[in-house]
Amino acid sequence: MNKMNSCDGRERALLWLRHSGLVVAILLCACRRDREPIVTSAEDSLASDAITDVNESIAFVERSKELGVVATYRNGEEQNHCTLLESLGGGVGWFDFDRDGWLDLVTAGGGIISQENQITGLSCALFQNRSGQAFQNVFQQAGFHAESLYSHGIAIGDFDNDGFPDLIVTGYGVPQLWHNAGDGTLILAAGLGSGIDDRWSSSAGWADLNGDGNLDLYLARYVNWSFENHPFCQDSKAARDICPPRSFEGLPDSVYFSNGSGSFRDVSAEIGLRTDGKGLGVLLADVDLDGDVDAYVANDTTDNFLYFNDGRGSLEEGGLLSGVALDDNGIPNGSMGIDLCDFNRDGLPDIWVTNYEREYFAIYRNEGRGQFLHVSRRYGITDLGGLFVGFGTVCEDFNTDGFTDIVVANGHVIKFPDASPRMQLPLYLRFNGERFQREQAANGSYFDTVHEGRGAAAGDYDGDGDIDLAVSHLNAPVAVLENRFIAKNHSILVELIGTSSNRDAVGARVDLFQDSGPPMSRQIVGGGSYLSHSDRRLNFTLPDTIEMADDAKPFSDLARSLRLTVQWPSGTNQTLTVPSTNRFIRIVEPLASDAQGLQRGRQP
């Protein structure tokens, strides 16, 4: 959320304002004036040819209204305070809250700001999924009264390992920890740590950082804005606007270790956190493949952090060293959304980051040994056409062509932007094996319409085997986007249940091996996207025919040769043969003596 706001003192990489002698040359030199003026041929235009011209449009259908998902995130901008608080927006989260096999949806409610500078929260919504056909907001019945908090983020994790997913709601005030009682209700749990910490929090992620089998919490915090620290900022046309993040000091993030009983202790000071970030996005994943969960933090206008875990929860920040702190010009970006994906299928997890409008969205290609390279230009990310302020983002193979696609929810952060509009088109980027291409949306469809997008999360809410989406907007209804791509290929949905490891199996890595070629790798991550939570189940799609060394065989013939290996956070490794395709597979972590551990799950 890096806002220029005319001139905000941001780092200018090559700002050599003083063009020695140039002013005289330009202003005072003699200049011929006897020619008729002409119009230059370099006209403003969107690079429309950057949009791929394939026939297939983006096959998502917006169904929120007919499904009964009626929820709007409110940011309280009506009083024109122009607070930074208004720009963050809210998140969404997919989770099977009642464990009926269908993904439910939780959405942040935001808040209102009175004329007298009073900040009040609004209800979050909890939509119970009725067999994929309808949703009902059950927040009242569930006792999910989160309205004491001006909310932003949703992060879901079974922090007490009881099999029922719990959640945390972040925002401007004390974050709320909600324990899922398993009877259809959520109970507000005791606070995090010993004291009351109401510093502004944004995204959060759950993962077992210290390897004790319980989920710990990484909580990103933003900046020290308050009404007591609310400078007057204006845009280039002198209208009051939201101040850029550079006007404020960053707040240090927090890490809470689980005590194992549903309570937590604040270990932020002990484990080596940096204090100079302005955190908006969190991704917890094993990026260096050493068997523990690392933490990547997207910061707004300051260096992004990559904390390498020593396996016991001690974190060492090495973002700069590993090449993921800055862009390829060595400049910190206004980073918001994050996801992990092995887009080039080399078995190494890459990091995808959405950024502010004049910055490239970033693909940090994993070079191995904890090293990354910013390669956005090489893969077409710099040729999207137009400028975008990217927030929520999900990497998934939505169209089941075997390659990772990327969805980005976009929208500006200030009221009167100059370079790009406040409401922006969402992006669907299709990877063709060499480059990402921006896909053309059908007229009038969700992806053909501008929004002020914020949180985004993926999940197969209708149980048809493909990945759907939920997207949150500023002051506009949440969208539920049903995936209508015609399935080209076979998909396998894998759910992991930890026993020695944390029950959510965050940090587990699953590789799908074919007879030849590199495996398809996926990880169960904590956090990700922006303020949002995607379904934890892992989706694999495989080409209809797999090119072998000598010929191509139908997939069904090859299914028997597919193997799944699971590396559990506990260190247990497991190898399984895939029983068939188009399957939902639930894998329970085996005890040391149990070699199999595979259960056949049902397709919900």
Partner 1 sequence: MRLGWSVIALIAMVTIVAGIPVVRRMTSPSKEVLFQKGLERVSRGDIVSAREMIRSLHANGAPEMALLVQARVLLAKGFLQPAIDSLEDVEGGADIVKMKLLVQGEAAYRMGQHSETEAALIEVLAIDSQCVDAHRLLAASYYDIGAVHAAIHHLTQTAQLSPRDPRPHRLLALIHKDYELFDEAIPLYKESLRRGPDQPDRDDLLFEMASCQVKMRQPREALNTLAMGRDGIHENVLRAECQLGLGDIEEARTLIVKVTKNEADNLDAMVLLGTILLEDGDATGAAEVLLRASTKYPKDYLCHFKLAQAFTKMERLDDARQEREIAEQIRTLRKEFAELHQVAWDNPEDPKVRLRLAALAAELLRPDLEQVWLHAAAAVGEIVFQPQP
Are 297 and 282 contacting, i.e. CB atoms less than 8 angstroms apart?
A: yes
Distances (CA, A) of 361 to 87, 268, 328, 391, 428: 19, 29, 11, 10, 13
Q: Is 10 in the site for partner 1 (CB under 8 A)?
A: yes
Q: Is 232 in the site for partner 1 (CB under 8 A)?
A: no
Pick the closer one to partner 1 by CB: 256 or 436: 436
Q: Is 237 in the site for partner 1 (CB under 8 A)?
A: no
Q: Is 33 in the site for partner 1 (CB under 8 A)?
A: yes
- Least Cα distance to 541 among 511, 582, 573 occurs for 582
Region binding partner 1 by CB under 8 A among candidate stretches 20-28, 152-160, 286-294, 568-576: 20-28
Residue type at position 307: Y
Pick the closer one to partner 1 by CB: 246 or 583: 246
Q: Is 18 in the site for partner 1 (CB under 8 A)?
A: yes
* Beta carbon of residue 242, minimum distance to partner 1 (angstroms, whole number): 18
Q: Is 44 in the site for partner 1 (CB under 8 A)?
A: yes
Q: Is 47 in the site for partner 1 (CB under 8 A)?
A: yes
Q: How far is CA 350 from the centre of its chain?
A: 14
Q: Is 238 in the site for partner 1 (CB under 8 A)?
A: no
Are 73 and 87 contacting, i.e. CB atoms less than 8 angstroms apart?
A: no
Q: Is 409 in the site for partner 1 (CB under 8 A)?
A: no
Pick the closer one to partner 1 by CB: 34 or 551: 34
* Beta carbon of residue 355, minimum distance to partner 1 (angstroms, whole number): 11
397-400 contact pairs (CB < 8 A, 24+)? 397/467, 397/491, 397/539, 397/541, 398/60, 398/428, 398/466, 398/467, 398/483, 398/485, 399/56, 399/59, 399/430, 399/485, 399/488, 400/466, 400/485, 400/487, 400/488, 400/489, 400/491, 400/541
Beta strand 563-567 pairing with 509-513: antiparallel
Q: Is 358 in the site for partner 1 (CB under 8 A)?
A: yes
Q: Is 12 in the site for partner 1 (CB under 8 A)?
A: yes
DSSP classification of residue 441: P
Instruction: Please identify which residue in 68, 185, 234, 360 interacts with partner 1, judged by CB under 8 A.
Output: 360
Region binding partner 1 by CB under 8 A among candidate stretches 81-89, 266-274, 374-382, 474-482: 374-382
* Beta carbon of residue 419, minimum distance to partner 1 (angstroms, whole number): 4
Are 91 and 131 contacting, i.e. CB atoms less than 8 angstroms apart?
A: no
State the Cα–Cα distance between residues 128 and 97, nearest whole angstrom. Answer: 8
Q: Give residues 98-117 in contact with partner 1 (rule: CB under 8 A).
A: none
DSSP classification of residue 5: S
Pick the closer one to partner 1 by CB: 75 or 440: 440
Pick the closer one to partner 1 by CB: 303 or 482: 303
Q: Give residues 507-546 in contact with partner 1 (rule: CB under 8 A).
A: none
Structure-token pair, residue 545: 């025919």
Beta strand 166-172 pairing with 176-180: antiparallel
Q: What is the CB-side half-sphere exposure of residue 119 using CA atoms within 13 A?
A: 20
Pick the closer one to partner 1 by CB: 355 or 574: 355
**Residues touching partner 1, count (CB under 8 A):** 66
Instruction: Please identify which residue in 70, 187, 373, 476 interacts with partner 1, judged by CB under 8 A.
Output: 373
Q: Render the burial of 344-359: b for 16+ CB within 10 Å, e for the rest.
A: bbeebbbbbbbbbbeb
Pick the closer one to partner 1 by CB: 258 or 344: 344
* Beta carbon of residue 309, minimum distance to partner 1 (angstroms, whole number): 20
Q: What is the 3-state secondary structure (H, E, C) of 306-371?
A: EEEECCCCCEEECHHHHCCCCCCCCCCCECCCEEEECCCCCCCCEEEECCCCCCCCEEEEEEECCE
State the Cα–Cα distance between residues 132 and 101, nearest whole angstrom. Answer: 10
Instruction: Please identify which residue in 387, 442, 476, 548 interacts with partner 1, judged by CB under 8 A.
Output: 387
Quick note: the x/- pattern for partner 1 over 306-345, rule CB under 8 A, is --------------xx-x--x-xxx---------------
Are 152 and 531 contacting, i.e. CB atoms less than 8 angstroms apart?
A: yes
Instruction: Please identify which residue in 295, 336, 384, 531 interacts with partner 1, judged by CB under 8 A.
Output: 384
State the Cα–Cα distance between residues 319 and 315, nearest whole angstrom. Answer: 12
Instruction: Please identify which residue in 334, 380, 402, 528 interacts with partner 1, judged by CB under 8 A.
Output: 380
Instruction: Please identify which residue in 99, 377, 560, 600 interacts with partner 1, judged by CB under 8 A.
Output: 377
Instruction: Please identify which residue in 379, 403, 446, 485 interacts with partner 1, judged by CB under 8 A.
Output: 379
Which residues would be at the binding site for partner 1 (CB under 8 A)?
4, 6-13, 15-20, 22-33, 35, 37-42, 44-45, 47, 49-50, 236, 320-321, 323, 326, 328-330, 358, 360, 367, 371, 373, 375, 377-380, 382-387, 418-419, 435
